[in-house]
Amino acid sequence: MSQGGPGSTAAGRLGAIAPVPFVGTATLLVALIVFTPVLLAGGPSPLAVQPVLSVYRAPGASATSFDVHGADPNVPYLWLNVSVGTGFVWNGLCPGSAGVAKWSYWNGTNTLGWTLVAGANPVVVNASVVYAQSSGRTVYAGELAFDLTGQNTSGESLLYVACPWTSTVSPGGSWTVSLGPLPIDLVNYGSGGPT
């Protein structure tokens, strides 16, 4: 004669640790504890807040567009600065402040983004962004130098390199302009930063 019955199956073994009728309820409570802070958090997600420098030059165009905006274009920034330096010789490196003959500055407060167009070549672009929320501010920044090669040819490309103080902004390289905009994430400096 075998012993057994309804309580001898896997449910019976699980029931010794946690009563089966309460496992579903416990799972639901754990999920609510884990996900409620995320669901109720105010403001956009950190991924949406991340500012991006989009570099765009149409093939054969006479100028390059530099656009700074959030990954979500509806994220407002407390302060935004885009500066362009010109009048230096391209040597494959960032020229540094002393090597730039002329700087042009554009600032915005309480703005969704900023676009500037530069006809010069080569250029160095410095972008700084401050995002404010109830818990404080976050500063993002990046500085890169760009040089156009092969203008008005099928191989028209932008060479680019990050400046030393924001070397983690991008590894640098070459971007064929026919590929469309080149997106570059700015570096998160936390509440401090270069601004």
What are the per-10-residue average pLDDT scores of the chain (195 residues)?
51 59 66 58 73 94 93 90 93 84 89 90 94 88 94 91 86 92 93 68
pLDDT given for residue 14 in this prediction? 55
pLDDT given for residue 16 in this prediction? 62
What is the set of domains in the chain, with CATH numbers?
6-40 (no CATH), 46-188 (2.60.40)
83 phi, psi to nearest 5 deg: -120, 140
| Burial (CB count within 10 angstroms: exposed 0-12, middle 13-18, buried 19+), residue 145 | buried
pTM above 0.85, yes or no: no
pLDDT given for residue 99 in this prediction? 82
Which residue in 73, 46, 44, 50 sits closest to 127, CA to CA? 50
pLDDT given for residue 71 in this prediction? 87
pLDDT given for residue 22 in this prediction? 63
Sheet holding 51-56, edge to edge: 113-118, 64-70, 51-56, 182-185
pLDDT given for residue 49 in this prediction? 87
pLDDT given for residue 80 in this prediction? 94
CB 60 within 8 Å of CB 32? no
pLDDT given for residue 34 in this prediction? 62
